[in-house]
Amino acid sequence: MRLLHTMLRVGDMDRAIQFYTEVLGMRLLRRKDYSEGKFTLAFVGYQEENAGAVIELTYNWGVDHYDLGTGFGHIALEVDNAASACDAIRARGGKVVREAGPMKHGSTIIAFVEDPDGYRIELIEHKS
């Protein structure tokens, strides 16, 4: 078995794709409209789907927002330097909600950013 993807419901597909590709630097791997079901799927990631896990963005036509609830936590991305990643994300229009620094009760350097739908993305600095 292997992890294939994580699915997020989004309120605006173009806005979500722009964030994940232009702000976080992922690539749009595929996108398809399902007119009979009135939804669109797009898959974004840093590598091809057969090489690693990706994010499935799901837009249900006519639904522009979702209540996030308390069950979902975050997506985590490894970065070389969390502070530099925050600066780059902010420069590309992204929202940093926790600046880079050591995690509570530990020494790992982390930061958090938020996508346009309110989903949190943790940036974890690579330990040499």
| Cα gap 33→59, rounded to integer Å | 9
Known catalytic residue at 99: no
Residue among 48, 114, 122, 125 flagged as catalytic = 122
Contacts of 19 (CB under 8 A, 6+ apart): 94, 115, 116
Both tokens of 93, joined, read 């229009």
122 a known binding residue? yes
| Cα gap 106→103, rounded to integer Å | 5
125 a known binding residue? no
| Cα gap 8→117, rounded to integer Å | 9
User: What are phi and psi for residue 60, nearest 5 degrees?
Assistant: -90, 115
114 a known binding residue? no
Q: Which residues are catalytic?
A: 122
Binding residues for Zn(2+): 56, 74, 122
